[in-house]
Each structure stands twice: as structure tokens, then as C-alpha cells.
Amino acid sequence: MEDPKPFCKRITKKFLEENLEDYKEWVREPRYVCRKCGMVARREKDLCKPVPIGPRPEEGSTAPGEAS
């Protein structure tokens, strides 16, 4: 049975001591960050306040094909 709490609310020192390998899988190649606590995860449903992680545009750069 899946735990109804979001992943970011389940992470405690005891959880990490007992489930470190599972934790490493959950945070490998993160796609979302929790805007409340900063935890990262691959799946949106694992965080209570998920925000997608995407490429950050470089300041002062132009889009491909645009002249500067």
C-alpha cells in the first residue's frame, strides 16, 4: 500500500537511516522541486508543492536563430 503522504513529508533522519537506497532512487535525475521545503523528486506526486525543474535561460542570450 502506497503511503498517502507526499515524499517530502516522509523524509526524516530515521527514514534516511532505514531507506537510503530508496531515497537515492527517488532523487536521481529530479524533474521537480518542492517550493515549500526544497526537496527534489522525479515524480510530481511525490512533493507537496511541486514546481518543474527546467533549463534556465542564460541572461543576455538570444534564442537560436535570432540575431544579437
Q: What is the DSSP letter of 2?
A: -
Collect all residues with Cβ–Cβ distance below 8 Å to 27 and sequence separation of at least 6.
Answer: 39, 40, 41, 42
Above 60 in pLDDT, residue 5? yes
Encode pLDDT of 34-62 as tens digits.
999 888 988 888 889 999 998 766 655 55
Alpha carbon distance 57, 68 (integer Å): 15
Give the cell for residue 16. Answer: 534516511
pTM of the shown model: 0.63
Collect all residues with Cβ–Cβ distance below 8 Å to 60 and sequence separation of at least 6.
Answer: none
Collect all residues with Cβ–Cβ distance below 8 Å to 43 and sequence separation of at least 6.
Answer: 7, 31, 32
